[in-house]
Chains A and B, each alone.
Chain A
Amino acid sequence: MVFNQFLALNFLQLKRTKRLLKDLGIFRFLFVLAIIVGAVFAIFTFLLKGENLEIAVGVFSLLILSFQIQRKDKTFLDINFNHYRIILFYQYLLLSLPLLCFLLFHVEWVLLLASFLGIILVPFINFKFNTQRLNTKIQRQIPVGAFEWKAGMRTYLFFIIAVWVGGLAFSFLPGAVPIAIFILGLLPLKFFEKGEPVQMLIAVEKSPVKLIVGKFKTHAIIFTLISLPMMLMFFIFHSEIWYLVFVEFAIFLSVHFYFILLKYAWYIPNQKPGSVEVFSVIGAVGLIIPIFLPLVWLLTLWFYFKAVANLKQYLHDFD
């Protein structure tokens, strides 16, 4: 019974993917396919070396954990299926199969067992950041125009503070600041996923170009204010490799711009269009596999012109 429900859900996921790809059109589909094949090949090559498996298990666990925390269908599954956690377990097992096969291939029994236990436990994780009412001084300092940050801070404030303090406290270790900036750099990607209501877009009374430049400016200031103290600490403790975190910061900022433009290039009020989901994956791949970064930057340029044209239909009166 439960397995049948799992099959039905997965069959549905296949149909969704098929429709999404159909909406993309043949050229974009081939483009996305090439990116996916490239990413899979890079991960495959990475995993062939046995010494990389621990990192792979760590990264994969974080990805699954973050997926479980953020997935929006948990309540739906809980309401409508008697044993929804078993369905989640099957899904995560299916996703983990390639990694488990690699672990088996390299005879890594401990990692294999730990991964399997992790897959059993993850479906039981169901906590929410209960911070909807949070309205601290920090949120009040963020300008109204950066509502994405206001909302994001409300959800992730404690997490951001924990990572930020951790990054500063352990900045004497070479990995601490780059990891903290990496985590804090990933968070804003979520802030720009969904289109705001059209009233909020119009309320600023700016032309598309001014709106986009304004978004860039406030985002760059906020992200710099968050990252700068950590970067300075890194500069003090690791002056011989100081440039590393500055490069990392610049890369993240460029990818954030990509995501801001992506939102407006396909902006539909209150929605997250399918194209945004697909191109978000490309942006994220650029962060994980840096050889794709030039592609992300090229797309950023294209999205800029597309965003200006798309926003004109809502903001033409302010040109």
Chain B
Amino acid sequence: MILIKKLTLTYPGSPKILNALDLSLPLGKIHGIAGLNGSGKTTLLNTIFGLLKADTGTIECSDFEINKKNISYLPTENYFYSNITAREYLGLFRNGNFELETWNKLFGLPLDQVTDDYSSGMKKKLALLGVIKQDKQIMILDEPFNNLDIETSRSLRSLLLKMSATGKTIIITSHIIETLTNLCDYIHYLDEGKIKYSHRKDEFVAFEKDLLKSIENKTEGIITELLG
């Protein structure tokens, strides 16, 4: 179990992004972090991974240390050196057991092409391959389905489910709620720097219905005012 207790983080001159946030993440499961734009999803992931240091609070794990040795991370925006090929990029990550050609059957990337010529979807696939190659206990994926075509999205979904079945813990964010409900074992809804709800798979239908209803109630009046 990963236990996050009283996590607080403030950017200078801004309100608290994370506000005494408590969260329990059972290991070997897929966890979805949901929330509106700017609710702090990426900040939470950055803090779990260690890119950001929380003002207060703790992140602990019962089975291993929470550090880069055990976590691989896919940020929303991925950096690629210019003028390098996909094969060279992946060569930066050490893993003797990783069979690149076999894995690439899933993504179909032109591995010997320089990444500058890649589309945003291809870049996302390449970054995903890099994360997979690292083969860590925990995978943190920030918006992994962004820019992916329908075929790769389906493949990635199956892949993540299989990886979770082998004991990996996967934490993902998505701004599309259906992506999370179709994939995750738990969904944690982030609002005003705290986890407002945590739902198990069997509660997703009711959760999704309630969420969509509350959003409709909120926006219906504004749309009527705008368009009559």
Contact = CB atoms under 8 A, between A and B. Distances in A.
Interface residues of A, number: 21
State the main secondary structure of chain B at its contact with A.
Answer: loop
B24 interface: no
Interface of A: 4-5, 8-9, 12-13, 15-16, 19-20, 72-73, 75-76, 78-80, 82, 130, 133, 274
B82 A12 contact: no
Contact of B79 (A19, A20, A73): A73
A14 to B, nearest CB: 11
Nearest to A78: B51
A285 B31 CA distance: 52
Interface of B: 11-13, 49, 51, 68-69, 73, 75, 78-79, 81-84, 88, 91-94, 114, 130, 134
A274 B91 CA distance: 23
B81 A16 contact: yes
Nearest to A272: B82
Contacts of B79: 72-73, 75-76
State the main secondary structure of chain A at its contact with B.
Answer: helix
A75 B93 contact: no
Contacts of A8: 91-92
12 contacts: A9-B92, A13-B81, A15-B83, A16-B81, A73-B81, A76-B78, A78-B51, A79-B68, A79-B73, A80-B130, A82-B68, A130-B13
Given A79-B73, A79-B75, A274 B82 contact: yes
State the 3 A-B residue pairs at the shortest beta-carbon distance, nearest first: A76-B79, A16-B83, A19-B83
Contact of A19 (B11, B13, B114): B114
Contacts of A78: 51
Residue among A15, A20, A79 facing the most chain B CB atoms (10 A cut-off): A79
A12 B81 contact: yes
Given A16-B82, A80-B92, 19 more contacts: A8-B92, A12-B92, A16-B81, A19-B83, A19-B114, A73-B79, A73-B81, A75-B79, A76-B78, A79-B51, A79-B68, A80-B93, A80-B130, A82-B68, A82-B69, A130-B11, A130-B13, A274-B82, A274-B83
